[in-house]
Chains A and B, each alone.
Chain A
Amino acid sequence: MGSTLKGIFSVGFGYSMLRVTTPILFAALGAVVSEKAGAVNIGLEGLMLISGVTGVIVSAWTQSAWLGLLAGLVLAVLFALFMGYFHIKLGTDMVLAGIAMNVIASGGTVFALFVASGDRGISSSLASKVLPTVELPLINKIPVIGPILSGHNVLTYFALLAVVGVWYFLYRTPLGLRLRAVGESPDSADSVGISVSKMRFLALGISGFLAGFGGCHLSMGYVSWFSRDMTAGRGFIGLAASALGGVHPIGTAIASLFFGFADALSNYMQSLSIPSEFVQMIPYLATVAALGVFARRQMSRERKGKKQAGREVA
């Protein structure tokens, strides 16, 4: 036990926590944006898979990690809009559209992988590229903090910037205001001539864009290959982080860090002599536990809120 604690409080653990938080954070921010516009994006998981495999294949072809990333992003956005088309234009339930997305992506990416590499499980036969890591000047000289914060994959820094970016977009720009209005009260947006469907498309597009980063981070940063279903539920954990963070970018970032912690813990403990099946459950158990605590708190707050509302109406 003592050694476990020591491990957790080590610099290496801090670094690894930020690393594993990255894809969760991207997914969670994607969840925030679409949820703010009133569409719960269940399909994040699938969108991440699609961008992940696209990034690997295209970077292997072009021998450029950046082109791989670009292709991954484009495809994730396109598929998000495709899902939006079913939901917004054809009236499919968003949850069903998301589930369909995930099923299609799970099978489709394996197919693409097989076509491109001849392997159904892993892309290691492809000479795919990895996005660069970045040493932060000055910061990397600070003891303890330096090694934790510096030397990450470039997408980790993108993720942190995205937190600020999403916040700025949602709370400081006219478009963000409209998007939130659409999510909260579509009728009121409609009554002032804001197109609800356009805003939802926009939100899903952004959501896909962010999920795309998350997927590419997994296959071109976190590791250097794509393997089937490699997202392993991170899209859903992202949804949980968004709910836990109050559908606010900052709160969501904190919640993502918590899940990143659980993930890193599970990775770390696999190196100990505990059956790995148990250890691998940690991130998911943490999710369930966190959501449970959250729901309880929410319920008591709602009870209070209702009372307050009652008073205000009066």
Chain B
Amino acid sequence: MSMGSLLEMKGITKVYPNGVLANDGVDFSVRKGEIHALVGENGAGKTTLMRVLFGLETPDEGEIYYKGSQLQISSPLQAIRSGIGMVHQHFMLAPSLTVTENIVLGVEPRKGLRFDWDQAVSKVKELAERYNLHVDPRAQIRDIPIGMRQKVEILKALLRGAELLVLDEPTAVLTPQETEELFASLMELKKQGHTMVFISHKLGEVKQITDRISVMRGGRMVGVRNTAEVSEADISRLMVGRDVLLRVNKPPAKPGKKVLEVESLSLFTPEGKALLDGVSFSVREGEILGIAGVEGNGQSELVEILTGLRQAHGGSLRIEGQLCTNAAPGQLRRLGVSHIPEDRMLHGVAVDAAIQENLMADRISKPDYSGKVFLRTKDIESTAKSLVQEFNIVARSPRTPVKMLSGGNIQKVVVAREFSSNPKLVIANQPTRGVDVGAIEFIHRKLVEICRSGVAVLLISADLNEVMSLSDRLLVFYGGRVVAGFSNADAVSEEELGLYMLGIKAQESAQLKEALA
């Protein structure tokens, strides 16, 4: 056992019941008091390794040493008792219960027979105060923003006395502001002596807050580095095994005719507050129109309306000149709209269905795939197989249920379906959320490729880098309105964009008009 190690995992091998070798003799060690990054491509086995540590999966081989002695962890309860806490990639919270109830669940304070609600609330408040993780103890989980849910997850672990905290892609769903806040809390935790394992695909973040980096590839550990000594390019080379293009190569746009025209779209809450307030813009074939903005400023609602998931209260929507305001999702799809939703688990896939079923979901009724009575299974299978190959979806077979895929591979399933449906307009909402650098490069390349072949692309992303590097034109949303537009996205600086996004600045209407046309 090496000096100063808090955790030492040795020779961990995990084979899932379906035969996937997810961890192959993995060694992993973490020093006390450090923030240790665990990185690797989608499906590299990061989550699996952490699930083994947390007692959610039983390893087939290997040993775990914690604080110098061997641990037999066969259930989360044991991990928790030993002082290991985990914040999962997909939140583990009951939506109808309150923040407090979720945090104290399993270790509830009691007064006699009953659950001592007041004490629970004050406990949560005290803990939140101590670690600077501000939450509303009385709110229901379903009413609070994602950033706060994340804090609830962390508090959950801390309340149980976690010294080692595993954070599985905690920033994938956060806005840049929320991420900064989270990092401040993590630094605070570190100061108070906690140790953290930080899983992320965002190498900038990894550089920013971690001390050391362990890299996994294809189920194996391929290297450990001191963060200070490596560059982002070095890390991604280790992860993918080749050089990764971190910038996008984009041939100049040749915009054609208008595909999508949005005219003074509006939407209100039942209380009458405007969620979208007279939004107008258009997207032409062969161009990428980016929408930047802090999440929660109307972008999600806009996308929902454009894809038929929600009805607008005013304004109009045209696809290739055809009026289709408040049309059903199926109708819009037939007009050539394809949609990469921001929440892949909710709107992107049917988790229990197979990969091939998900890939075919939007086209299954076409004569290519269904005969008069029966489905054309052979054609379905061969198309699915080629999509799996083209989009590099890591899975045992196209028949694997989507829920068995790693997060990033699920996203690839969605992207594969939406890009292969011969769309006229692609609406990409956070298209690279939670996918690895290699896959980001791939999705970006595909997005540019499909656009330049004459498809209109509307890109919404909370990742400033992404919108800025991909977009030809750029709009900024604030408070349900378009507050700025740039007909040449390359001409804007990040700082300037930030001012618009925070509502500190807004453009004159003349300037706006020019960019919207």
Contacts and interface: CB of A to CB of B under 8 A. Distances in A.
Contacts of A87: none
B28 to A, nearest CB: 21
A188 B94 contact: yes
B101 A191 contact: no
Interface stretch (B33-41, B108-116, B199-207): B108-116
A307 interface: yes
B108 A177 contact: yes
Given A174-B115, A185-B94, A191-B86, A314 B300 contact: yes
Contact of A310 (B94, B102, B310): B310
Contact of B114 (A173, A189, A191, A310): A173
Contact of A173 (B56, B102, B113, B309): B113
A188 B300 contact: no
A301 interface: no
B98 to A, nearest CB: 10
A190 B76 contact: yes
A139 B53 CA distance: 62
A185 to B, nearest CB: 4
B77 A310 contact: no
A311 B275 contact: yes
A160 interface: no
A194 B108 CA distance: 12
Contacts of B106: 178, 189, 192-194
Interface in B136-171: 142-146, 156, 160
B142 A312 contact: yes
B295 interface: yes
Contact of A314 (B93, B94, B114, B301): B301
A106 to B, nearest CB: 33
Contacts of A234: none
A172 B115 contact: yes
Interface residues of B, number: 45
Contacts of A172: 114-115
A185 B102 CA distance: 11
B300 A191 contact: no
B249 interface: no
A181 B93 CA distance: 9
A178 B105 contact: yes
Interface residues of A, number: 27
B301 A181 contact: no
A184 B86 CA distance: 20
Contact of A313 (B88, B92, B146, B270): B146
Contact of B92 (A177, A188, A314): A188
B423 interface: no
Interface in A165-188: 168, 172-174, 176-178, 180-181, 184-185, 187-188
B140 to A, nearest CB: 10
Contact of B160 (A176, A192, A194, A304): A192
Given A173-B113, A192-B106, A311-B269, A184 B94 contact: yes
Contacts of A181: 94, 97, 101-102, 105
A66 B87 CA distance: 52
Tell me the interface secondary structure of chain B in the complex.
loop
What is the predominant secondary structure among interface residues of chain A facing chain B?
helix
B470 interface: no
B75 interface: yes
A289 interface: no
Contacts of A187: 92
A188 to B, nearest CB: 4
A198 B94 CA distance: 18
Nearest to B81: A193
Contacts of B330: none
B97 A192 contact: no
A309 interface: yes
A99 to B, nearest CB: 23
Which of B76, B105, B146, B295 neighbours the largest number of chain A CB atoms within 10 Å of its CB?
B105
Contacts of A173: 113-115
A178 to B, nearest CB: 7
Contacts of B45: none
Nearest to A304: B270
From B76, B80, B102, B106, residue with most partner A Cβ within 10 Å: B106
B94 A191 contact: no
B56 to A, nearest CB: 8
A214 B300 CA distance: 50
Contacts of A310: 300-301, 304, 309-310
Contacts of A304: 270
A154 B269 CA distance: 51
Contacts of B4: none
Interface in A266-314: 304, 307, 309-314
Interface in B44-79: 56, 75-77
Chain B CB within 10 A, most for which of A177, A190, A192:
A192
Nearest to A169: B113
B231 interface: no
A310 B113 CA distance: 38
Nearest to A191: B92
Of A174, A184, A189, most B-chain CB atoms within 10 Å: A174
A186 to B, nearest CB: 9
A247 B295 CA distance: 35
Given A173-B115, A312-B142, A312-B143, A192 B76 contact: yes
A185 B92 contact: yes
Given A189-B94, A192-B92, A310-B310, 17 more contacts: A172-B114, A172-B115, A173-B113, A180-B94, A181-B94, A184-B96, A188-B102, A189-B106, A191-B76, A191-B88, A191-B92, A194-B106, A311-B275, A312-B145, A314-B298, A314-B300, A314-B301
5 contacts: A174-B110, A177-B97, A188-B91, A190-B92, A193-B77
The 6 nearest A-B residue pairs measured at CB = A193-B77, A174-B108, A188-B92, A192-B106, A185-B94, A191-B92
